[in-house]
Structure 1
Amino acid sequence: GDRPRFVYGTMGGDGQPQTQAALVTRMVDRGLGPQAAVEAPRWLFGRTWGEPTTALRLESRFDAAVAERLRERGHQVQVVEPWSDLMGHAQAIALDADGLRAGSDPRADGAAKGW
C-alpha cells in the first residue's frame, strides 16, 4: 500500500547500517516480528567506538560453529558477551492492518508501549 510497513532505528556508530540491514532482513525476508528481530543475536564488523578493529564480532548467543566456520574462512572473529551493548540499541515498529507491533532492545533500557 501507500503507507510504510516498518519504522526502525538504532544507535551504535558505524554499526548502525549493519544493524538496520539485519533488522529489515529479519522482518521482511524472514517474517520475524519487531521484538524477535531486535532480540536476535547480532554481529558487527569493524569499529563502532573505542579501539579500531577489523574483527567480526559475534554475540556469544550464536552457535559456536558459526564462529569456527568463519575463522576457517580467514575471518578474524571476536566472540563477545550475550546481549552486548557494543552492538548498539535498536527499536522497531511494524504497522499492520490490525494496528502496531513494537520491539524494544533488551540491550538497552527502553520499552515498547503504545496507545
Structure 2
Amino acid sequence: MDLQDQLKNLFPDHIQEESTEKEVEDNIWMQDDPILCKYEKRKGKPITILEGYTGATEDFKILAKEIKKKLSVGGSFKDDKIIIQGDYRDKIMQILKDKGFNVKRVGG
C-alpha cells in the first residue's frame, strides 16, 4: 500500500485535483513572429534576454519559470522580457524550438 492509498483511506471525501505541467504547457499560445534571443553583459555578468512574445503575460511567466527550472539558473521576468542569468542562448533556443516556437538569435 503506497502513500496515495493510505491518504485515500484516511480522507475518503477528499477530491484530488490532477493538474500536470503538460496541461499547462499545452495552453501556451504560439505566435507567428519569432522570439528574439539576445546576449548582453550587465555589470560584467553575462545574461540572456528573451523578448518579442505577443501572447498573454501569464503564459510568458510560465515559460520563464519552466526555462529557469530546466536550466537550473536564476532569472526574472520584467517589462515583457525574460532575463536569464548566464549565456544559455543555444540551450534556450533548443527548448523553445522543441515547444514549437520560432526563435531568432540576435547579436554575436
TM-score, normalisation: structure 2 = 0.29
Point out the structure with max Rg over C-alpha.
2
TM-score, length of structure 1 as denominator length: 0.28
